[in-house]
Amino acid sequence: MKRAMEIIFAGVVLTFSVAVSAQTDKKPAAPAATSAKGSIPDLNGVWLSVKEEGLANFFHIKTWPTQPWAGQEALYNEGHEEINPSGGEGIGGGDSHGEDQVAWKHCAPLGPSASWQHAASVFEIIQTPEEVIIFHEWDHGIRQVWVDGRPHPKNVKTTWMGHSIGHYENGDTLVIDTVAINPITRMDRVHVNTDAFHLIERIKREGDVITLTITFDDPRALTMPVTGFHHFHLTNFEVDPEITCEDWLGGATTP
């Protein structure tokens, strides 16, 4: 009887081991596309500005509530802005107003909000469980948006694209919160910002179109936050890794 029980027990253990082995041989299931607030929208792909919206007043903001000094800067920059450079000047257009804007004449990164404004250039969104990468074709601008629940670091250092964290809402929207943006950048092509600049972006997908709703908050440059929007459509293009600001500057071309 004891021998019979040992044989039965061994058979049970062998059967269990085989079952476990069969399960572990399978590829692990992909994590469910859900978050604490619902499913995660698929924003992956290459996107291009909706042509009909153009470049002028890109964010559809009728009036910017600028502080007096920032309003004067914007008026100057607008008068010296080269909207569609084709050689002779950098992306910042003509003469810069003040030392803090010199970088625009020398192909410095555009910053997180102004980078959207290259209407003729595409950008790619790549989603992972930990982060979202926004790769702009123009001058290879890259934004890293952490969606793993981390907060902004204390005493975070300012950078060209700032520090971005994000989360998903309502199953269709990515919300991005960005701080520590280099004050040499601009909010859009003409409106300057300071080291108090705080950017909130909401990217919502509907079919093959995403709506970017963008809120600019900078109490040193604006009297109150202001919100705009722009639409982009999904394309079958690829991001061209050879498009650089230097190719536009003075008609120069890279080797």
User: What pLDDT score was predicted for residue 81?
Assistant: 56
* Nearest Cα to Cα of residue 43 among 149, 200, 168: 168
- What is the residue type of 169? E
User: In the chain, what are the helix, strand and coil shares in percent, each to the nearest 5?
Assistant: 25, 30, 50
Question: CA of 25: how far to CAs of 22, 28, 226, in Å?
Answer: 5, 9, 54
How many Å apart are CA 158 and CA 184, to the nearest integer? 10
Contact 255, 242 (CB under 8 A): no
Ranges of each domain in the chain? 34-251
Which residue in this structure is represented by tokens 């990217």?
Answer: 203
**Among 221, 225, 230, which residue's Cα sits nearest to residue 202?**
230
Q: Which residues contact 1 (CB under 8 A, 6 or more apart)?
A: none
CA dist list (Å): 235 to 27, 44, 110, 119, 123: 32, 11, 23, 13, 10
Nearest to 57 by CA among 239, 226, 184, 181: 226
Q: Tens-digit pLDDT profile for the chain (255 aa)?
A: 444 444 444 443 334 343 333 333 333 333 333 444 458 999 999 999 987 776 678 999 999 999 999 999 999 888 765 433 332 333 333 333 444 444 556 778 889 999 998 767 899 999 999 999 999 987 778 999 999 999 999 999 999 999 999 999 999 999 999 999 999 899 998 899 999 999 999 999 999 999 999 999 999 999 999 999 999 999 998 887 777 776 666 554 444
Closest CA to 46 of 242, 205, 235: 235
What pLDDT does 243 receive? 73
Q: What is the model's pLDDT at position 7?
A: 42
Q: What is the pLDDT of residue 239?
A: 82
pTM of the model: 0.76
Residue 183 in tokens: 């004050």
